[in-house]
Amino acid sequence: MLVWFLPVFLVLLVISLPVFFALLFAPGLLLWLNGQERDIALLYRNIYNGIDSFPLMALPFFMLAGELMNRGGITTRLVEFSQALMGHLRGGLAHVNILSSILFAGLSGSAVADTSAIGSTLIPAMEKNGYTRKFAAAVTAASSVIGPIIPPSGIMIIYAYVMGESVAALFLAGIVPGILIGAGLMLVVWLLADRYELPKAERIVQQGATISNVEYWVSFVLLRLNLVAVFVAAGYGLLALSADPATYAVAAGGWTPWVVFAALLIPAHVYLMWLRGRISHDFRVVCKKAVAPLQAPIIILGGILLGVVTPTEASAVAVAYALFVSFFVLGTLKLSDLPDVLKRSALASATVLLLVGAAVAFKTVVSLSHAPEALASFILDLSKDPLVLLFLINILLFVVGMFLDAGPAIIILGPILGPVFVNLGVDPLHFAIIMSVNLTVGLATPPMGLVLFVASSVSGERVETISKAILPLLAVEVLVIFLITYIPALSMTVPRLTGFAQ
């Protein structure tokens, strides 16, 4: 009897009932028909308990940090930096668009923010440079799905919470797949560039740009500190591999690391001054301007990797850093902007939090109903081979992604599909990445792709036109999905090396 709640739920979704209500109405109705009124009270308490969670708090914080950074005008800095690196290639601005998305992904966990920020800067620039508008919009939409794959990531926080995985491990597992998608897109652009003679662009957008004093010194200090951190990390890495544990313990304990750190500041400074003489003034200014924004992902990931902070605390630190940068370093944000930024982040995260609460309630009914067992036996009737099943599940996810946004889809499908595949021997972390990447790519697939709609409103091009132009780019993303599915090492290596997964 209770198994029927799934079909009822699907019907409610198809007739356009908001997901939040559908997640509660279907199980509630079936429990009531089944005479289990007591369990409806359980349903309610699970919504509440679902929202009442500290790890989930990373969601509003990362949204807030992303929004603050975006308002603070970091997008232009990232785009100019990308252009200085890749603008001179054939199809330069398309490459710039993709690289900007990769960099932006380290600050924001949302594909929509990525599309609207980068699209509004780069689509007009690409058009001026001689690209068709539909191609510019398609590249923007396709590359923005990297946003939720490279950490921080909203949907990964949600998935980790609903499924009881580690947020940090999921974040780390997303890095390689995200970069793979970026690299794949660049490959397509490179191939298309020869065929359609896509134009090159200037590496420097603005000649003779200046940089404010504060920003100059902030990036001066940050650059040196980061360089030394790289030296120290490399040094200790080598030491841990080669030397015996006792030497390593002495070198890593007490004050020694700090002394080493301070001493290494001198070679770092000398190296950077040497570098300064070898590059042009304009290039240097563009790079310096990107230092402060790009420090944010380093703080977030560095903090989590070193075990200094939990992901939630890292997200709060990211908010503080974003405030510091946009108020004191860049001076681009006014105090009067804050209420609006806070209100929008609160509103966006409240809807997601309600959904998560409803999903936790939904999940209890999923397990009460034995739906996963029924589904598992159905799936196992199709095939016993995990590889075939993963192929089928990818197709299912892709189809779902065409109609539903990544967040709600992962909330609904995670509890149903996760246990089935984990029992088949797929690593939970690997499965989480398959789901996240696949459903995120779904954001850019017609007919119902959130990112397509945003790209359309930013560019003024019709959704149908963009949908056609995006197909070759989507083909590569599908290819990457299958690579990730069949080579678990792609997602598992980073969390394993850093000790966040077995």
Partner 1 sequence: MGVPLAEALLLPLRGLSTVNEWVLRVASTIAWISLAIMVVIVLVQVVFRYAFNAALPWPDEAARFCMLWMTGLIAPLAYRTGNFVAIDTLHAGLPKAAAHVLSLVLLTLSAIVLWFGIFYGWKHTFGFGGNFNSSSLYVPLGWFGGETIQVKLRYMYGSLLTGLVLMMSVNIELILRELVGLVAPAAKQPKVQGLNAPVDVQ
- Judged by CB under 8 A, the chain residues 423 through 452 that form the site for partner 1 are 443, 447-448, 450
C-alpha–C-alpha distance, residues 384 and 377, integer Å: 10
Q: Which is nearer to partner 1, 358 or 390 (CB)?
A: 358
CB-nearer residue toward partner 1: 112 or 118: 112
**Which residue from 7, 18, 386, 499 is in contact with partner 1, where contact means CB under 8 A?**
18
Task: For 207-268, give the DSSP string.
Answer: TT----HHHHHHHHHHHHHHHHHHHHHHHHHHHHHHS-HHHHHHHHSTTHHHHHHHHHHHHH
| CB neighbourhood size of 230 (10 A) | 12
Our finding on whether 394 is near partner 1 (CB under 8 A) is no
User: Of these, 53, 76, 364, 465, which contacts partner 1 (CB under 8 A)?
Assistant: 53
* CB of 202 closer than 8 Å to CB of 79: no
Name the residue with tokens 């980073």: 494
Contact (Cβ atoms closer than 8 angstroms) between residue 122 and residue 96: yes
> Is residue 25 a contact residue for partner 1 (CB under 8 A)?
yes
Q: Does 217 bind partner 1 (CB under 8 A)?
A: no
Which residues within the stretch 449-468 sit at the binding site for partner 1 (CB under 8 A)? 450
Interface with partner 1 in residues 289-308 (CB under 8 A): 308
Nearer to partner 1, 13 or 389 (CB): 13
Say whether residue 99 binds partner 1 (CB under 8 A): no
Residues 121 and 164: beta-carbon distance below 8 Å: no
The identity of residue 270, as a single letter, is V
Q: Give the C-alpha separation, 191 to 199, whole Å.
A: 13
Which one among 6, 79, 112, 193 touches partner 1, defined by CB under 8 A? 112
Residue in 7, 33, 45, 382 binding partner 1, rule: CB under 8 A: 45
230 is a site residue for partner 1 (CB under 8 A): no
Q: Based on the shown chain and the rule CB under 8 A, indicate whether residue 83 belongs to the binding site for partner 1.
A: no
The distance of closest approach from Cβ of residue 467 to partner 1 in the complex, given in angstroms and rounded to an integer, is: 15
For partner 1, the binding residue among 259, 306, 350, 475 (CB under 8 A) is 350
Which tokens go with 272? Answer: 């950077």
Residue 24 or 434: the one with the smaller Cβ distance to partner 1 is 24
Q: Which residue, 262 or 320, is less far from partner 1 as judged by CB?
A: 320
Residues in the chain: 502
Q: How many CB atoms lie within 10 A of CB 29?
A: 16
Q: Residues 63 to 82: which contact partner 1 by CB under 8 A?
A: 63-64
39 binds partner 1 (CB under 8 A): no
Q: DSSP secondary-structure letter at 147?
A: T
**3-state secondary structure (DSSP) of residue 110:** coil
Tokens of 96: 């710039």
Contact status: 12 vs partner 1 (CB under 8 A): yes
> Which of these segments, 202-210, 270-278, 338-346, 490-498, binds partner 1 (CB under 8 A)?
338-346
Q: Which of 16-24, 188-196, 367-375, 473-481 is the region at the interface with partner 1 (rule: CB under 8 A)?
A: 16-24
Residues 147-186 that bind partner 1 (CB under 8 A): 148, 154-155
| Cβ at position 182, least distance to partner 1 in Å | 20
Three-class DSSP category at 331: coil
Please list, residue by residue across 454-472, b when 16 or more beta carbons sit within 10 angstroms of its beta carbon and e when fewer do.
bbbebbebebebbbebbee
Angle at 424 between CA 406 and CA 11, to 5 degrees: 40
- Among 57, 185, 198, 437, contact with partner 1 (rule: CB under 8 A): 57
Asked if the peptide bond before residue 199 counts as cis, ω within 30 degrees of 0, the response is no
